[in-house]
Amino acid sequence: MGSDFVIEMQDVWKTYPNGTHALQGVTVKIDRNEFVYVVGPSGAGKSTFMKLIYREEVPTKGQISVNGFNIGKLKHRKIPYVRRNIGVIFQDFRLLPKLTAYENVAFAMEVIEAPKRLIKKRVMEVLDLVGLKNKANSEPSQLSGGEQQRVAIARAIVNNPSVIIADEPTGNLDPETSWGIMQLLDEINFRGTTIVMATHNKDIVNTMRKRVIAIEQGNIVRDQVRGEYGYEF
Amino acid sequence: MNFSTLLRHFREGTKNVFRNGWMSVASITSIIVSLFILGVFILVVLNVNKFADQADSQVQISVYLKLDVNEKARETLQNEIGMMPEVSKVTFIPKEQGLEEFRKKLGPDGKDLLDGYQKGDNPLPDKLKIEVKEPTTVPALAAKIEQLNNSHADKPILKVNYGKGTVETLFKITKMIRNVGLIFVAGLGIMSMFLISNTIRVTILARRREISIMKLVGATNQFIRWPFFIEGALIGLIGSLVTVGIILFGYNQIEVWAGSRLGVMFKLVSLNDIWLLLSGLLVGLGLLIGIWGSTVSIRKFLKV
């Protein structure tokens, strides 16, 4: 497809085997360095939208390109290499439970077979960036929710991905901690990383004004620069 | 894959054994239990086999001669039997020796019984003891020797004895023991494979989340598989080495104990003859099961 955009979807449909039409002809372009909120009611297709970007799901119809790769047509053994250029953050953090914060972040670099010395330097660097340098040797169970999410963010950015996909990153956190996470994401965006974030947090969307894409019943119903949340919940 | 990545896989695989504490203990234990049962059974079968072999080899034919047979006729007969292809050895046992053996067999209790019989009035006939190459040929050979009697004018043979009936039963029993043993060993082998792979499957099921996270950060299947492979091999190795230790030590104790009790009647299979083969078999099997269990079980989680 050879797109100049970081993410480009062209008439994308997704129908699950059980017959659910999660997405029905979505077309969207997300440019380099953008910060995009994806909002909408539960079950409207937000998660599917996100999963299609990091190739957890394949579109039933249509084309998706991420970093210039046609994601839908990707061969299985190529998937890992595309994912290395996409950082993913989840509501439930998804850290490896028996590894320390350091090891969790280092893992993403070991996967790409980075030299050990470089790993050490870079991991400490990003742990410092997320404010957890002094908790490098703690396991997830010893960290608070906010701290775990910071480790997850450190892991997502350690390989300098061009885009970060965040699926309700503040969903499990109290408001104060959420703001800390948002400031961190904002800074990462400021440094040049595209961020696509699905969220139900009205306060955050309305305070930190960014592009807002609203999805309802599998369609994009609203796409605003510096938009608002637009729902009561 | 570069060398430092390979090193990383070994390091991670080893660490994982400890990180998964109880799960590893469960896997190792099930390997120990299965291999132990298998090992003990192999030892039992080996010993039963040896016993059966010994019993078989003790099957022989006794040819009792008439009292009036002279030395020349006896030697002719002895030669003729010796020429038969089934026969490995023919020994002449004069009646004096026969009486001596009979005394020994009866032991101190029966000593009085034979006290009256001395050289002059020995009631026993002379005997030819015939050993055979293949125990199963005994009944046919005995018949053949009886036939031989008719070709001599003086019919020197009084009686041919080989424990008719008893021998046939013995063959049946030893054959059955061998077959049943083989079936049991095969069955136990398969059973332990299932037991172990099941344990490992459970441990890996608990780790499917871990695998999905690895995939999310862009790990290739190969990269994910390696530490599991090492971990499985290590668990198999630890389990089988412990089993080998227990079995070799235990069998050694039994051998010492049996050596002082069973005496010369029956000797256990010597540990020196089998320890290397047995250890090799158990360790090899342990490694195979550990590796197989871990790699096969993660395969289905790798498809995303």
Report the SS3 class of residue B50.
helix
Residues B203, B244, single domain; the answer is: yes
Q: What stretches of chain B show up as alpha helix (H) in DSSP?
A: 3-19, 21-57, 71-83, 95-106, 111-115, 138-150, 166-205, 208-216, 221-261, 271-299
Residues B112, B187, single domain; the answer is: no
Chain B: give the shortest CA distance to residue A111, in Å. 5
CATH of the domain at B66: 3.30.70.3040
Q: What does pLDDT average to over chain A?
A: 93
Residues B90, B196, single domain; the answer is: no
Q: Report the DSSP pairing between strands A35-39 and A86-90.
A: unpaired
B145, B161, B177 - which closes a domain: B161
- Cβ pair A88:B1 closer than 8 A: no
B9 in a structural domain: yes
Sort out which chain A residues have CB atoms less than 8 A from B5's CB and list them. 110, 113
- Cβ pair B213:A94 closer than 8 A: yes
Residues B173, B294, single domain; the answer is: yes
> CB of A94 within 8 Å of any CB in chain B?
yes
Q: Which value does ipTM take for this structure? A: 0.85
For chain B, how many structural domains are there in total?
2
Residues B204, B228, single domain; the answer is: yes
Which residue has better confidence, B65 or A140? Answer: A140
Residues B294, B173, single domain; the answer is: yes
B71 in a structural domain: yes
- Cβ pair B216:A77 closer than 8 A: no
From residue B291, give the alpha-carbon distance in Å to each of A90, B14, B219, B280, B302.
Answer: 33, 14, 21, 16, 16
Q: How many residues comprise chain A?
A: 233
Rg (CA), chain A: 17
Quote the pLDDT of residue A1. Answer: 46
Q: What stretches of A63-201 show up as alpha helix (H) in DSSP?
A: 79-83, 101-111, 116-129, 145-157, 175-190
In Å, how far from its chain's centre is CA B189?
16
CB of B123 closer than 8 Å to CB of B117:
yes
Residues B180, B278, single domain; the answer is: yes
B304 in a structural domain: no
| Chain B contact probe: residue of A71, A92, A93, A98 with most B CBs at under 10 A | A98
Quote the pLDDT of residue A202. Answer: 94
Chain A: give the shortest CA distance to residue B250, in Å. 38
Chain B: give the shortest CA distance to residue A108, in Å. 6
A142-196 pLDDT, tens digit per residue, is 999 999 999 999 999 999 999 999 999 999 999 999 999 999 999 999 999 999 9
B161, B179, B207 - which closes a domain: B161
Residues B46, B182, single domain; the answer is: yes
Domain coverage including residue B279: 3-55+169-299
Angle at which helices A175-190 and A145-157 cross, to 10°: 10
B287 in a structural domain: yes
- Indicate the pTM of the whole model: 0.71
Full pLDDT tens readout for chain B, 304 residues = 788 888 888 998 898 888 878 878 888 888 888 888 888 888 888 887 787 777 766 777 888 888 877 888 888 888 888 888 888 888 888 877 877 777 776 766 666 666 667 666 777 788 888 888 887 788 888 888 888 888 777 788 888 887 767 767 777 877 787 788 778 777 877 776 676 667 666 766 767 888 888 899 999 988 988 988 898 899 999 999 999 999 999 999 988 888 777 655 667 888 888 899 999 999 998 998 888 877 777 777 776 5
> CB of B41 within 8 Å of any CB in chain A?
no
- Cβ pair B213:A96 closer than 8 A: yes
Query: Taking Cα atoms as reference points, which of A163, A89, A155 lies closest to residue A123?
Result: A155
- Residues paired with A26 in a beta bridge: A12
pLDDT over threshold 60, residue A2? no
Residues B73, B146, single domain; the answer is: yes
Quote the pLDDT of residue B273. Answer: 87
Query: Taking Cα atoms as reference points, which of A57, A46, A50 lies closest to residue A15?
Result: A57
Report the SS3 class of residue B252.
helix
CA B271 – CA B249 distance, rounded (Å): 10
CA A149 – CA A94 distance, rounded (Å): 9
Residues B92, B115, single domain; the answer is: yes
Which residue has better confidence, B42 or A11? Answer: A11
> Shortest CB distance from A111 goes to which of B4, B210, B218?
B218
